[in-house]
Structure 1
């Protein structure tokens, strides 16, 4: 019963483009904090260039299902903080921003929304951006060819962000914040939706999913 619901969601999506197939930008367990094609589940739908954008949080705690312990007050309290952020596909590094500070919790930098980021040219008129990287952690250079799964940097809290997490979106233009966001499809994913587990699937990600790369 889940696949027809998702199919309906995609048919109704604004300016639906052919999906770009990606791997998850991390190893281990994560949670989709923002994702989907409507504003009620994904705030990225308010910005045309970031349509279908996805925010990932890494998980931890005794049951492995927490974003941070109760009472978290620092970036370092979040399980995502400092964890490796991986290239979601093969591509050429199109742009790197690596000079932005991490924001303390409760402060945002709207003037530099992506913070420290890496943009990859995937070819075929598609560019993927991975943002909010930790200050001093970017591990690639512009012009470099990277492979899916290669470390791009570490999760931080730079830019216009509420707490440490990994932001990803695909555009049809090379400049960050330009053009129209494209719908990404993630492959080789294990996920849990409404208490049901699905292994090694290709899926568009929506808010509320627990996800991990298939092993």
Structure 2
């Protein structure tokens, strides 16, 4: 089974951690993430925030990144079955700070899926469940039990949970809870994006 989705955003985004390049896409099958894709918003130059000497030495505020706060829309029609947006948008980590952040990943994984997902929206559709993660604190515009349509705004791009810079993590699963689910392959508008590719929503 493969689930067909629309892109959950507008503008230019870079593909990272795609199953078009490796499975499991995130290097693990835990939490049904083997088929997940990360989309990183980029600016007009098709890049994230400029990399400077400061970026290499210190964490950066998420507001420095061009996609922080960009609208996220539902990639599918269905029912909102989970919604959470109380987690802080923490600093972004590139260069040397990313090494220190990587050392804390085990602690987040041990805390369970919610600690990894951060702020998220979960939508049950006709053929499975779709999850959008790392959303901006306080940005959700939908509530549990609400019916949403494809393309309907649901939140904004943030940097919550297990995230090194503002992006949206998209995964499809066969059932809830996530801890008992199997990953479901996804295509977006009929295709599977590859790592490094710039997609336009």
Deviations 1:29-80 (A, max 9, x none): 111022115658832544361121010011114xx21011223522111112
Residue 76 of structure 1 aligns to a residue whose secondary structure is helix
After superposition, the Cα gap between the structure-2 partners of 1:23 and 1:136, relative to the gap in structure 1 and judged at 3 Å, is same
Distance apart, 1:19 and its partner CA: 1.2
TM-score between the two structures when normalised by the length of structure 1: 0.77
Question: Which of residues 130, 151, 154 in structure 1 aligns to 2:153?
Answer: 151
Deviations 1:164-211 (A, max 9, x none): 101100001122343111100111xxxxxxxxxxxxxx2012212111
In 2, distance between residues paired with 1:48 and 1:157? 19
TM-score between the two structures when normalised by the length of structure 2: 0.82
Q: Which has the higher strand share?
A: 1
Residue of structure 2 in register with 1:58 after alignment: 41
After superposition, the Cα gap between the structure-2 partners of 1:114 and 1:153, relative to the gap in structure 1 and judged at 3 Å, is same
After superposition, the Cα gap between the structure-2 partners of 1:177 and 1:155, relative to the gap in structure 1 and judged at 3 Å, is farther
CA contact (8 A) 2:86 2:137 kept: yes
CA contact (8 A) 1:41 1:206 kept: no
Residue of structure 2 in register with 1:118 after alignment: 121
Residue of structure 1 in register with 2:172 after alignment: 170
Give the aligned CA root-mean-square deviation in angstroms: 2.0
CA contact (8 A) 1:113 1:160 kept: yes
CA contact (8 A) 1:171 1:178 kept: no
Tell me, yes or no, if structure 1 residue 97 matches structure 2 residue 78: no
Tell me, yes or no, if structure 1 residue 43 matches structure 2 residue 45: no
CA contact (8 A) 2:16 2:39 kept: yes
Question: Which of residues 166, 186, 189 in structure 1 aligns to 2:188?
Answer: 186
Relative contact order higher in (CA < 8 Å, ≥ 6 apart): 2
Q: Which has the higher helix share?
A: 2
Distance apart, 1:105 and its partner CA: 2.2
Q: List gaps (5 residues or longer) in structure 2.
A: 94-100
Residue of structure 2 in register with 1:161 after alignment: 163
Q: List gaps (5 residues or longer) in structure 1.
A: 1-17, 188-201
